[in-house]
Structure 1
Amino acid sequence: MSEKENLPEKALPQNEEKNLDKKVENEKTEEVQPAEHIVEETSEDTSEKVSEKMTEEKSEEKQTDDTAAALVDKAKATGDRKETTDSPSPEAAVESVDEEEDNKPSQEPKTPKDAQSEVDDAVAEDSEDESAGERHGIEKKDYHAMSKEALVDELEKLLKKEKVQAIKEHVEEIRAEFNAKFDEELEEKKEEFLHDGGNIIDFHYSTPLKKHFNSLYFDYKEKRNKYYQQLKQDLTQNLEKRQEIIEELKGLIDVEENINTTYKHFKELQERWKTAGAIPRDKYNNVWNTYHHHVENFYDFLHLNREFRDLDFKHNLEQKLKIISRAEELTQETDINRAFRELQMLHKMWKEDLGPVEKEFREDIWQKFSDATKKIHDKRQEYFEQLEKQYEKNLEKKEEIIGKIREIAETNYTSHKTWQQNIKEVEALREQFFHAGKVPRNVNDQTWKKFKETVRTFNRNKNAFYKNQKKEQYHNLEKKLELVQIAEDNKDSEDFKATTPLMKKIQTDWKKIGHVPRKDSDKIWKRFKAACNHYFDRLHANRSEENKEETEAFEHKKELLDKLKSIELTGDRKEDLPTIKKFIEEWKNLGRVPHNKRYIEGKFNKALDHAFDKLDMDKKQTEMLKYENKVQALEDSDDTRRINNEHYFLTKKIEETKAEIIQLENNLQFFAHVDDNHPMVQEVHKNIDDHKEQLKIWKEKLEKVKGLY
């Protein structure tokens, strides 16, 4: 079996690779000897060409040395790119054209990986898509806290300004947050629709914002699919190129040609390898390990031409030591994600840009690089553990917020004002929830579900309350429509005395009735107001006419009062009494005076008292003559309230007088043993007689008032 057939076709672990190197070296010792003989027997011209070639190679290496710092600077630049909110997981699966969209976070725990495996996977992922590094340069905002409008604006900006392959994580997180918020709104609208008696089959809800978002997301998928279709094709072609290079590299060992020609061919293969382009990430590490293995085999094949080979070894060692130095510096970097991204680039440079070193240094430098890698990896793991602790704190905050919303949702409120206060409170708690930060991925769905269910419970109770409110509002509408009808039926009534109390009453009743549906409120109020205003405008116009007569009556009463005050009575009761009665009768005939002029009635009564005092008349007769004037004033006032008050006053006086009489009669029992001629007994009897006389007057006055009804 030939040596070529013994070489591995797949990637080997690091230790197995080194063991195979030793085995190949031992097995080839004798086979390589002729190659040395060929080199020694070359002609002088050939030696000159080799010398020229080596000079040329040294020049190239010098140029490479000059750009070594640039390579490390490239890695630094990658690490310096703006930090995103969350670095993409290095375990992320390969995105294919036909992948199924899934916005839910994985509920399965990740399998722990060692440092080297994680870096290898990350390098493979970035190597598949050469723009992968650009993803780290796009700021990932707190999409969870954004409104639907802000999310749409952010999606539109990303599609306009960024490459489609660099925004997948941003777009999917925006989509998940937008859909969650829209679904919440959709549920509210659905419940309102069903509460209003709608059929679920007829329910459909969308908004211009939702349509705009769907259009943007469709554009994104179209662009992304086109990109990945082309990328998949390019990756496959590039893989075939690299596999062809590996096959040519394997064949260099068995080819029988001038060693200088072979070395030149090898350098050409290296250049072709560097420019071969990206390949599928799941093939990357396997293909690279195989390539690297055969590169080392080729250098071992050249071990007889030490100067020629050692130039490359020296150059590669110097560059790898620089990479190790930079990796060790990164172990002190405080920005963990930045350090890890730069470490990825260092590993990629180690693999892509540099070849092997002498065997005696291979294990040592690789171990140093691995140690630095492990330190960065461990710090990164610690960083993510701290993040998880913060996520746990955020979870506690969100659980507390959910508890507060649940407490509000489970309370039965009975007034519109209270519901409005709690609607604002729940809205504030919702905002706090959205700004509370991320929670552990394995409880994210569960927490979001609890939040939605709690808010939904509150909305259901709110909708149920307002549904009952609507029923009550329609009942109130019926009541107010009845009052509107009464107002419109009586707005042209001429019976002001009977209609005015009715119109005032329906206005009072209107205020006592609660809210009606908003769509009917203004309409029925305008009808009711118009009818009431029409009536009271007519009433005021009528009263204005009446006031003219009342003013005239007041002027006449003033003149009559002056006459009564200035009259000279003869002192003869029979002659003076008709004169006084004539004054009273004339006063009554003059009619009502304006409300603000009614004080003149009191002045007239005082004048009558003064006149009656000059007459020797029975107290009851005098009292009733004066009261006739008051009764007339009550009748003229047309004020039911005043008449009722007078009725109540007289009834009360009658009851009080009866009680006084009973009390006085009871007191006489204490004087049963005393002679009736005793002054004290006589005083009690006199009081009883006076109260009985007064009782007759009160009763007679009450009869007069009753006659007014």
Structure 2
Amino acid sequence: MEMERDKREENVQEAGLAERHGDTLHSEIDLADHHDATTDEVLEEEHIDYSHFTKHELANLVKDLAKEDNFKRVDNILREVKPLYDDMREKEKAEALIKFIAAGGIEEDFEYKGDESDLVFDANLKLIRDRRTNHLRQQEERKNDNLRRKQELLEKIRELADSQNSDAQFEQFKELQKEWKGIGPVPSAQAKTLWANYHALVDRFYDNQSIYFELKELDRKRNLEAKVELCVRAEKLADVEIIKDAIRELNELHHEFKHIGPVPKDDKEVVWQRFKAASDAVYAKRDQYLQKLQQELHGNLDLKAKLSDDVQEYSTFDSDRIKEWNQKTKDILEIQKRWEVIGGLPRAKAKEVNKKFWGAFKAFFNNKNAFFKKLDEEREKNLQLKNELVEKAHALKESHDWEKTSNELKVLQQRWKEIGPVPEKFREKVFKDFKDACDYFFDQRRTQHGKIENEQADNLRQKEEICTILESHAAAGTAAPEVLKDLQDRFNAIGFVPRKDISTIRNRYHEAVDKFVSHIQGFSEDDKSKLLLENQLSDLKNDPMAERKIYQKEQAIRKKISKVENDIALWKNNLEFFSRSQNAESVRAEFNDKIKEAGDHLKQLKDQLKLLKTI
């Protein structure tokens, strides 16, 4: 019972010492803690407005954030970015649902999988959360471990302070102080009490070591020398050009200063005031820098406010001409470039000015989208008109009144040309239906003329002879590009053949050309492919529907190019994920081979597109 009472009294004494040392402890550490807590806020990076970013840009931004270790910055950005991205995704999902239902689907069967940007965004968002959770857990574990170690040190210091004097006691005490300094931060809830108890025990140790008074005074003098050296280093920071570097180093000096032991009482306030004065000089320079920065930001505010006013007229722009909309689009995009060149804004005004500018910007493009939506409605009406012409053409195609029906169909063809464009997805079908009806009638009329039949039969014979010549050159090994050019021109110059033989002679001609080109000596595969493409384009150029077929050929090549480019981009993105995987060398090699093969194919397609444009 007596031992327990002594222990309780001892704890009460320590608590009293901690309380009495509280004020002096704060005088050395509060200034550093205050400026350390506010430095990140006042020197924060320029605020960026993400509201005009595209989905792809936001996904790439989150992808970059997943590599950062500054989780405070990452969280600040995500608080702005995620709602914007979620809003875009929900709009796309709603549009996809509308299209799904319009195509005959049932809402309960609808499943939205998103696009590649969604996959990148979600994967990296999960990666950020996992990394942050792991970081916080490790940080909390380190702090708890540091608390445990420091509590163990406090017990050792208490035992040493209350033990009998010995020659090694002072050195043991210094080792414990050194170990204490080397331990990192502890949970904030215990930090203040822990520090107070530590300083109370340090003073108890010195007070109980009256025999070693001279050693104590010597140690205090050494501590004074160390603190004076920190004052000198702090005073030099006023000349550092980069403010952030100066503040960072000053915080480190504050950390060292508060871990150095006591100094002689007569020098305690003097050395602290000197260190504080050096710190205040750095903070004053920081404040001056921030004041200058604020002036620059207000200058930027004036420039962006002017652009915000200038862009307002675009929010009400209206026209019924595509050309004028395109010109206004160029103008507003030029204003956007000028806006983006200007630097940041004061945080208090940034949201208001950005909202005004981007509000007008979005209003313009919303109006533009509405205009083109109206165009789409007109194209729907055009589709209805052309479908009516298709019905009339089919009603006339069986007529044997050749002259009258010919004139009527020509009138329908003229009206067809006068009607504007129809929706892209119906363009091919409606044109084919109309053309088939007209072609059927005119084919029937042609069959009534024996002369035309004889000419077509003769044309067929001539084209067959050219096919035979091509085949013989291939068999004899005498195939040459100039020979093909001559035979190609002769073949295209020949007129129509009987309808029933069109497909047969065309197929035989193409097969003969393929065999001919394959037997040309000294030609690479690329040269042969190019020669075959030139032959096909020459054939298209002489087709009655040349313009349309060339356009279809171009669109087909463009679709292939787009698909290959998308495949390459996807494979490259997958490579980034595989780069973090173990035992994935074979997979990476496979994807690299795919990317190389696709790159070669992409070059061939682009060469074909260039050649097509020469027609």
In structure 2, the residue matched to 1:669 is none
In structure 2, do the counterparts of structure 1 residues 4 and 120 end up closer, same or farther at CA, with 3 Å as the change threshold? Answer: same
Q: What is the one-letter code of the residue matched to 2:75?
A: E
Structure 2 partner of 1:167: 70
- 2:242 paired residue number: 335
Cα 1:210–1:368 change in 2 (3 A) is same
Per-residue Cα deviation, 1:659-690 (whole angstroms, up to 9, x for no partner): xxxxxxxxxxxxxxxxxxxxxxxxxxxxxxxx
Q: Deviations over 1:406-451 (max 9, x none)?
A: 4323222323444445456556656665665443333444455555
Q: Which moved more, 1:376-385 or 1:454-463?
A: 454-463
Alignment of 1:599-614 (within 5 A): none
What is the CA distance between 1:520 and its match in structure 2?
0.8
2:124 maps to 216
Q: In the aligned structure 2, how far is the partner of 1:143 from the partner of 1:299?
A: 58
> CA–CA distance in 2 between the matches of 1:526 and 1:10?
97
CA contact (8 A) 1:12 1:290 kept: no
Alignment of 1:275-294 (within 5 A): 275-281=182-188, 283-284=190-191, 287-288=194-195, 291-292=198-199, 294=201
- 2:17 aligned with 1:7: yes
What residue in structure 1 maps to residue 220 of structure 2? 313
Give the CA deviation at 1:167.
2.8
Could you say if the C-alpha distance between residues 528 and 205 of structure 1 is closer, same or farther in structure 2, counting changes exceeding 3 Å? same
Q: Which residue of 2 aligns with 1:266?
A: 173
Identity %: 29
Distance 1:426 1:280, change over 3 A: farther
Structure 1 residue 119 and structure 2 residue 35: aligned? yes
Deviations along 1:82-107, one digit per CA (max 9) or x if unpaired, are xxxxxxxxxxxxxxxxxxxxxxxxxx
Distance change (3 Å), C-alpha of 1:231 and 1:506: same
C-alpha spacing 1:411/1:282, structure 2 compared with 1 (3 Å)? farther
User: 2:185 is paired with a residue of what secondary structure?
Assistant: coil
Paired AA for residue 224 in structure 1: R
Match of 2:18, SS?
coil
Alignment of 1:172-183 (within 5 A): 172-176=75-79, 178-179=81-82, 181-183=84-86
- Two-structure CA RMSD over aligned residues (Å): 4.5
Q: 1:242 offset after TM fit, Å?
A: 2.6
**Aligned equivalents of 2:113, 2:145: Cα separation in 1:** 47
Tell me by how many angstroms 1:523 deviates: 1.5
Separation in 2 of the partners of 1:334 and 1:502? 87
Describe how 1:185-196 pairs up with structure 2 within 5 A: 185-186=88-89, 189=92
CA deviation digits over 1:631-658, x for unaligned, max 9?
Answer: xxxxxxxxxxxxxxxxxxxxxxxxxxxx
Name the CA shift for 1:219/1:515 in 2 (closer, same or farther; >3 Å). same
Q: Is the 8 A contact 1:483 1:506 kept in 2?
A: yes
| Counterpart secondary structure, 1:465 | helix
Give deviations 1:471-514, integer Å, cap 9, x for gaps: 32222111111222333333465545434443333233222212
Query: 2 CA distance for matches of 1:433 and 1:189?
Result: 28
1:348 aligned residue (249, 252, 255):
255
Structure 1, 455-464 or 508-517: larger mean CA deviation: 455-464
Between the aligned partners of 2:370 and 2:97, the Cα distance in structure 1 is 11
Aligned equivalents of 1:343, 1:435: Cα separation in 2: 34
The DSSP-based 3-state class of the residue aligned with 2:35 is helix
CA contact (8 A) 1:184 1:452 kept: no
* Alpha-carbon contact 1:188-1:456 (below 8 Å) kept: no
Alpha carbons of 1:474 and 1:291: their partners in 2 closer, same or farther (altered >3 Å)?
same
Q: Distance in 1 between matches of 2:88 and 2:342?
A: 21
2:409 to 496, 503, 517: 503
**Partners of 1:455 and 1:188 in 2: CA distance:** 19
1:381 paired residue number: 287
- Range moving further from structure 2, 409-418 or 428-437: 428-437
Shift of 1:336: 0.4
Offset from partner CA, 1:147-185 (integer Å, 9 cap, x none): 65455456546646x6xxx33134325534643552563
- Residue among 288, 292, 297 paired with 1:391: 297
Tell me which amino acid in the other structure corresponds to 2:174.
K
Distance (whole Å) between structure 2 residues aligned to residue 268 and residue 262 of structure 1? 10
Is the 2:312–2:357 Cα contact (8 Å) retained in structure 1? no
Cα 1:252/1:143, change in 2 over 3 Å:
farther
Please, which moves more after superposition, 487-496 or 378-387?
A: 487-496
What is the deviation of 1:373? 0.7
Post-superposition Cα deviations, 1:238-262, rounded to whole Å, max 9, x if no partner, equal 2244345446546655x25115354
Q: Residues 227 and 116 of structure 1: is their aligned pair in 2 closer, same or farther, counting only changes over 3 Å?
A: closer
- Aligned counterparts of 1:195 and 1:469: Cα–Cα separation in 2: 20
**1:231 positional shift:** 2.7
Check 1:289–1:155 CA distance in 2 against 1; reply closer, same or farther (3 A cut). farther
SS of 1:439 mapped into structure 2: coil
Q: Counterpart of 1:278 in 2: which secondary structure? A: coil
Shift in Å at residue 395 of structure 1?
A: 4.1
- What is aligned with 2:264? 358
Distance apart, 1:332 and its partner CA: 1.1
For 1:335, give the aligned amino acid.
I
2:377 is the alignment partner of 1:471: yes
Give runs of aligned pairs for residues 263-662 of structure 1, distance below 5 A. Answer: 263-281=170-188, 283-284=190-191, 287-288=194-195, 291-292=198-199, 294-296=201-203, 298-299=205-206, 302=209, 305-352=212-259, 354-423=260-329, 436-447=342-353, 449-450=355-356, 453-491=359-397, 493-533=399-439
Q: 1:343: how far off? A: 0.6
Cα separation, partners in 2 of 1:292 and 1:4, compared to 1, 3 Å: closer
Q: Give yes or no for contact 2:297–2:345 (8 Å, CA) kept in 1.
A: yes
CA distance in 2, matches of 1:394, 1:544: 84
Contact 1:195-1:464 within 8 A present in 2 as well: no
- Range with bigger deviation, 469-478 or 240-249: 240-249
Q: Which amino acid aligns with 2:434?
A: F
One-letter code aligned to 1:118: H
Bigger fraction of residues in helix: 2
Structure 1 distance, partners of 2:445, 2:137, is: 88
**Structure 1 unmatched runs, 5+:** 19-112, 126-135, 549-709
Matched residue count? 434
Task: Give the Cα separation in 1 of the matches to 2:380 and 2:223.
Answer: 89
- CA contact under 8 A between 1:11 and 1:288: conserved in structure 2? no
| Partners of 2:152 and 2:174 in 1: CA distance | 15
The amino acid that maps onto 1:235 is: K
TM-score w.r.t. structure 2 length?
0.58
Matched, 1:226 2:117: no
Q: In structure 1, how many angstroms separate the alpha carbons of the residues matched to 2:293 and 2:238?
A: 19
Structure 1 letter corresponding to 2:18: P
Report the CA distance shift for 1:290/1:375 in structure 2 as closer, same or farther (over 3 A): farther
With over 3 angstroms needed to count, the CA separation of the structure-2 counterparts of 1:494 and 1:200, relative to structure 1, is closer
2:14·2:197 contact (CA, 8 Å) conserved in 1? no
Preserved contact between residue 116 and residue 374 of structure 1 (Cα < 8 Å):
no
In the alignment, structure 2 segments of 5+ residues that lack a partner are: 1-8, 455-615
Equivalences for residues 31-42 of structure 1 within 5 A: none
Q: CA deviation at 1:339?
A: 0.5
1:291 aligned partner, one-letter code: Y
- Aligned to 1:7, the other structure's residue is in SS state helix
Structure whose alpha-carbon radius of gyration is higher: 1
CA offset digits 1:329-357 (Å, max 9, x no partner): 111111101100011111112223x2222
Q: Distance in 2 between matches of 1:243 and 1:355?
A: 18
